[in-house]
């Protein structure tokens, strides 16, 4: 049985690890927060007290960390102790240039690297329905595929190094702008005196149909249960959406892409975070987009 190293055992990582443990993989975990580690010990996680110890005798290391700087710090601290051929799969959301830099560092050490950010949030991690957007080499992807299939419902090799992060930036820019548009549509419907549940029934089956309506409707007591029915507890926080939109903005600037709606969406989320509502689910932007 392959030994899996997992670094980053927060809201997402802990649930991903749980799914691996439930399928009888041996998982060695590390997090700077000891409480995160302790919560997983009863279900079979093996802990290490030192980050470098996680690199001993593992075939694959998965990281799920807050940002690219931390991912690079972790990689730099373990890279010299990894055996050639070890695969590192980073499921964090980081910028494209950083991902390409980490690919190169691993290639120079005869290691495999995949940038594999996810979509699906905490619910997707818990229910093993994540989508993995993957950048890297095909042989590395094939090596990781059995684990993707345990932790998620879909994975796709999007292209070479950085392609996973590039895909995630496009996806979340679209999600942010779509959610704002959904909120405006329901606001207009409400002001026109429409029954919002009936409006949902039409929008969810007509040309305006989208994930932000069908699966994550931001209106309380309308459609399936979503963070709107739980005081907008995340879910996927506005803080994280702002982070992802900032990554998208960097890519927009580097590529000289025209993306007025994406840029405006980032401004709206920045305002929401500045007003100390970043801890709410990102769908709460429908309440603050005035």
Positions annotated as catalytic residues are 168
CA distance 234 to 228: 9
Encoded tokens for 47: 């802990």
Per the listing, tokens 């093996």 go with 46
Q: Which residues pair with 237 in a beta bridge?
A: 281
Encoded tokens for 179: 């959610």
CA distance 217 to 92: 26
CA distance 251 to 248: 5
Residues 6+ apart with CB under 8 A from 156: 131, 132, 133, 134
């Amino acid at each position: 049985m392959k030994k899996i190293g997992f670094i980053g055992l927060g809201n997402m990582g802990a649930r991903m690890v749980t799914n691996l443990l439930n399928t009888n993989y041996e998982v060695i975990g590390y997090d700077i927060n000891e409480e995160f580690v302790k919560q997983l010990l009863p279900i079979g996680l093996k802990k290490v007290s030192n980050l470098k110890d996680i690199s001993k005798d593992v075939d694959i290391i998965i990281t799920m960390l807050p940002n690219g700087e931390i991912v690079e710090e972790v990689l730099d601290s373990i890279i010299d102790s990894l055996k050639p051929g070890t695969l590192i799969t980073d499921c964090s959301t980081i910028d494209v240039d950083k991902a390409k830099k980490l690919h190169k560092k691993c290639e120079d050490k005869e290691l495999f690297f995949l940038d594999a950010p996810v979509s699906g949030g905490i619910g997707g991690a818990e229910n093993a329905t994540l989508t993995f957007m993957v950048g890297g080499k095909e042989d590395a992807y094939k090596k990781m595929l059995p684990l993707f299939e345990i932790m998620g419902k879909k994975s796709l090799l999007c292209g070479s190094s950085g392609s996973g992060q590039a895909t995630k930036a496009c996806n979340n820019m679209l999600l942010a702008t779509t959610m704002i548009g959904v909120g405006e549509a329901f606001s207009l419907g409400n002001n026109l005196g429409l029954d919002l549940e009936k409006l949902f029934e039409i929008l969810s089956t007509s040309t305006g149909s989208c994930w932000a309506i069908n699966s994550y409707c931001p209106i309380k007591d309308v459609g399936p249960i979503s963070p709107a029915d739980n005081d907008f507890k995340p879910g996927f926080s506005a803080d994280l959406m702002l982070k992802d939109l900032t990554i998208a903005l960097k890519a927009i600037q580097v590529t000289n892409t025209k993306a007025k709606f994406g840029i405006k969406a980032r401004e709206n989320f920045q305002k929401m975070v500045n007003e100390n509502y970043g801890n709410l689910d990102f769908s709460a932007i429908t309440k603050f987009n005035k």
